């Protein structure tokens, strides 16, 4: 697996920006100056926790797309969306967050089945990370596990929505049966977790 310098930079920037944006949701940014917030121990703890949960969930989701695309003979690279990353940070400052940090772009000949499997790889990876997170939550690291479970369930479910550029649209275009098999165990739990 090869990574260009630009791709490594984009992955690092997206990982750090997401960690930063999500950590802002868990600290009180109105209580003091932003400089005091950013140098506080609570912010540092939240930043590390966000990097380990949101950041890892996002990175492995995107890398799963890349691994499967390369397996099918594609040239695949992650590209950050710097505008959306800036919006994520601004949203974190405002107390809400929508994150679409970028995507893996691939090119070369690919069948509809292979394209569907490339799309499915990201949400399936998040399901696996959710299982690991649940195990951590009920054993040795409750906070880390809960945060990891929450974000991975949401990422898997959100990405399986069959709309626009989301993974679910590609999977549904390939196979309604495969889509149903993936959507039920991802979208349902995400809705329960988010609204329940």
From 109, 135, 156, give the residue that closes a domain.
109
Active site residues: 62
Shared domain for 118 and 98, answered yes or no, is no
Rounded mean pLDDT of 79-90?
93
Q: Which residue has the higher pLDDT, 94 or 126?
A: 126
Domain tally for the chain?
Answer: 2
Q: What is the 3-state secondary structure (H, E, C) of the chain?
A: CCCCHHHHHHHHHHHHHHHHHHHHCCCCCCCCCHHHHHCCHHHHHHHHHHHHHHHHHHHHHHHHHHHHHHHCCCEEEEEECHHHHHHHHHHHHHCCCCCCCEEEEEECCCCHHHHHHHHHHHHHHHHHHHHHHHHHHHCCCHHHHHHHHHHHHHHHHHHCCCCCCCHHHHHHHHCHHHHHHHHHHHHHHHHHHHHC
Shared domain for 26 and 98, answered yes or no, is yes
Query: 129 is in which domain, residue-wise?
Result: 111-196
Shared domain for 4 and 88, answered yes or no, is yes
Question: Is the pTM of the predicted complex or chain greater than 0.85?
Answer: yes
Query: 67 falls in which pLDDT band (50, 70, 90)?
Result: very high
Q: Which residue has the higher pLDDT, 175 or 25?
A: 175
């Amino acid at each position: 697996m090869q990574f260009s310098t630009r791709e490594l930079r984009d992955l690092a920037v997206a990982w750090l920006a997401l960690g930063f944006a999500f950590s802002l949701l868990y600290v009180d940014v109105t209580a003091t100056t932003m400089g005091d917030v950013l140098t506080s121990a609570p912010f540092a703890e939240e930043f590390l926790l966000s990097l380990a949960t949101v950041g890892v969930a996002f990175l492995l989701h995107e890398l799963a797309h890349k691994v499967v695309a390369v397996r099918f003979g594609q040239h695949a690279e992650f590209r950050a969306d710097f505008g959306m990353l800036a919006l994520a940070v601004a949203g974190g400052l405002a107390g809400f967050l929508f994150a679409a940090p970028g995507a893996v772009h691939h090119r070369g000949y690919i069948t509809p089945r292979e394209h569907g499997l490339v799309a499915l790889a990201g949400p399936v990876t998040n399901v696996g990370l959710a299982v690991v997170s649940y195990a951590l939550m009920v054993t040795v690291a409750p906070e880390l596990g809960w945060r990891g479970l929450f974000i991975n369930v949401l990422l898997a479910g959100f990405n399986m929505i069959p709309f626009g550029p989301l993974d679910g649209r590609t999977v549904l275009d390939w196979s309604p049966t495969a889509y149903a098999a993936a959507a039920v165990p991802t979208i349902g739990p995400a809705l329960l977790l988010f609204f329940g």
